[in-house]
Amino acid sequence: MNNARPRRVVVAMSGGVDSSVTAALLREQGHEVIGISMQLWDHSDSAADENFGSCCSLDDLQDARRVAEQLDIPFYVVNFEEEFRRIVVEDFVDEYFRGRTPNPCVRCNQVVKFELLLAKARGLGADCLATGHYARIAREDGNYRLLKGVDPQKDQSYFLFALTPEQMASTLFPLGELTKQEVRRLAAHYGLRVAEKGESQEICFIPDDDYVRFLEEERGTGLLSGKIVDRRGNVLGTHDGIYRYTVGQRKGLGIAHAHPLYVVGVDAERCEVVVGAKDELLSRGVIAEHMNWIVPPHADPMGASCKIRYRHQPVPCVVRPLAGGGAEVLFGEPQRAVTPGQAVVLYDGDSVLGGGWITAGIE
């Protein structure tokens, strides 16, 4: 979006350095800036809250409010706790109990930020919503494109593959052309109180990153226990619940074996955890569902690169759209630990072609 002329912009403020610098930059550029923080999760009952580096704690809301006061911009808090639980948290729990490993950050961006919060912004008469994501939006020949952020260590385009053209038309990513170091320097330049604040953790609603405890608090203990087997069906041991395991996991199997064993699959129907040698983690490709195409695909197979998890280095691939909104993605060389429930995101250079949810690896 061309932001040369002054606009009314709502900034999603988390209380961190990135969203704070976003607000400061836009205000300096002459825009009418409104800060909004989202109350997503009630940590008041959590013993870990004092040391919990989430992006939605009460301390973070206070930091966002103080930055807004410092910048002299209006500030509001919207309570999305009910929606966040229904859309993100319940999906997170359900996925683990289906034997999959979810990515709640993608789901939160897709629905909470760029549907619910964008609707709130429009309700305030805003022209657009701005966030502190490290990504870029470009418009070429009337079409919107999602691009990687210029900082390869911070690029967050992976989490944004579900954006629609309509959402991109009303979205600003002011940090997309900056590195994290430059953002820190700008925060110090503006004198922002959060200039040296640390990074928030990925899963904002799980204290101490103990997802097993969280899942058991949500659904109870002793559920979906069963056998640990190899790919030939030989029983090697037992487990206390499939939700405790993810593809690629080595620790916590409790099996004595001549060679290291890894989780190579989770069979939710049988309540079985499948283990194997390290080379059994390799897959030739993935099958994905619910594809969102930012760039319309060709009917024929097309070359691209892909990421099968956030910190994964993009690898060459060939993509073939499937009936029903899915896709087959074949890697240029086998990749390790393809994980159902994670997203596969497709790229052409810096441009995001689209992405979807991994349902299975291709052996």
Whole-number pLDDT of residue 45: 58
pLDDT (tens digit, 9 = 90+) per residue, 223-268? 789 999 999 999 999 999 999 999 999 998 989 888 999 999 999 9
Q: CATH code for 222-276?
A: 2.30.30.280
Mean pLDDT of the chain: 93
Whole-number pLDDT of residue 202: 64
Whole-number pLDDT of residue 49: 47
Task: Give the number of other CB atoms < 10 A from CB of residue 335.
Answer: 22
Pairing of strands 8-12, 32-39: parallel
In the residue annotation, 306 being an active-site residue is answered as: no
Q: Left if phi > 0, otherwise alpha if psi is -120 to 50, otherwise beta: which for 128?
A: beta
Q: 20 vs 207, which has greater pLDDT?
A: 20
Architecture of domain 8-204: 3-Layer(aba) Sandwich (3.40)
Q: 59 vs 29, which has greater pLDDT?
A: 29
Question: What are 305's strand-pairing partners?
Answer: 316, 347
pLDDT (tens digit, 9 = 90+) per residue, 276-316? 999 999 999 999 999 999 999 988 999 999 999 999 999 99
d(CA 329, CA 360): 11
Whole-number pLDDT of residue 18: 98
Whole-number pLDDT of residue 51: 43
d(CA 241, CA 113): 33
- pLDDT greater than 70 at residue 48: no
Mean pLDDT value of segment 141-155: 96
Task: Give the number of other CB atoms < 10 A from CB of residue 238.
Answer: 12
Mean pLDDT value of segment 52-76: 86
Q: 66 vs 4, which has greater pLDDT?
A: 66
Q: Show me where the domains of the chain are located.
A: 8-204, 222-276, 282-362
Whole-number pLDDT of residue 94: 96
Q: What percent of the chain has pLDDT over 90?
A: 85
Whole-number pLDDT of residue 201: 65
Task: Give the number of other CB atoms < 10 A from CB of residue 175.
Answer: 29
Q: 320 vs 363, which has greater pLDDT?
A: 320
Whole-number pLDDT of residue 52: 46
Q: Which of these is catalytic: 55, 105, 204, 306?
A: 204
Whole-number pLDDT of residue 53: 47
Q: CATH code for 282-362?
A: 2.40.30.10
d(CA 202, CA 339): 18
Whole-number pLDDT of residue 55: 58
pLDDT (tens digit, 9 = 90+) per residue, 90-107? 999 999 999 999 999 999
**CB-based burial label for 279 (10 Å; 0-12, 13-18, 19+):** exposed
Mean pLDDT value of segment 12-33: 98
pLDDT (tens digit, 9 = 90+) per residue, 125-136? 999 999 999 999
Whole-number pLDDT of residue 223: 79
Whole-number pLDDT of residue 1: 44
Q: Which of these is catalytic: 55, 105, 108, 128?
A: 108
Mean pLDDT value of segment 189-200: 91
In the residue annotation, 108 being an active-site residue is answered as: yes
pTM for the whole thing? 0.93
